[in-house]
Amino acid sequence: MEWYGAHMVGSICVFCGSNSGNSRRYLEAAQELGELLGRRGLRLVYGGGNCGLMGAVADACLSAGGSVTGVIPRALADKDLAHGGLTELRVVGSMHERKATMADLADAFIALPGGLGTFEEFFEAATWTQLGLHRKACGVVNTAGYFDGLLALADRAVADGFLRPQHRDMLLADERPARLLDRLVAYTPPLLGKWS
């Protein structure tokens, strides 16, 4: 548990690929982040999977002495996709329930490289911050510039009048997991809701 100014950060939700990608750098970034969370006593909340970067971030956190909560829908757990060695595994009824549970349990959100599932989960968490449903920071580990295209799309959305600059600035990005984590826990998103 870490205190930053007025708020407390104890759990970080990580969204990331169920594949490992084809560069070793992605795996290393996942391991670095997992180890960091474990060493700093920050609980990892994630999708509960045993494969790809998901498995890697969980394994690294556990090896560093950390606590890991996985939240997995019954349909995926039944396919033997759940990690067997977590501190806690919550099996839920649907993808929707999973995302709501992960959002409730976490104080901030990080995306590592991944595919559609990662994009969707990260943008949903950021949208909930934008709407003021929660006030939790969101950031991406931009390994090898993986998220450059996504950040450029957000800039385009500002330029074309679909996104407020203050909401674009909520999307933190850093290539180094440690630096991103420091920035994330120190950051409180603006109160400016989309419709305020």
x/- track of binding to ligand AMP for residues 79-98 (CB under 6 A): --x-----------------
* Distance from C-alpha of 55 to C-alpha of 169, rounded to nearest angstrom: 30
**Binding window for ligand AMP (CB under 6 A); candidates: 15-23, 60-68, 165-173, 179-187:** 15-23
**Whether the Cβ atoms of residue 177 and residue 12 lie closer than 8 Å to each other:** no
101 binds ligand AMP (CB under 6 A): no
Q: Provide, rounded to whole angstroms, the least separation between the CB of residue 158 and ligand AMP.
A: 25
Q: In what order do the strands lie in the sheet with 171-174?
A: 88-92, 68-73, 43-46, 11-15, 108-111, 137-141, 171-174
Q: Which is nearer to ligand AMP, 66 or 70 (CB)?
A: 70
118 binds ligand AMP (CB under 6 A): yes
Residue 33 corresponds to which tokens in the numbers above? Answer: 């982040």
Query: Do strands 11-15 and 68-73 pair parallel, antiparallel, or not at all (unpaired)?
Result: unpaired
Residue numbers at the binding site for ligand AMP (CB under 6 A):
15-19, 47-49, 51, 54, 72, 76, 81, 114-118, 121
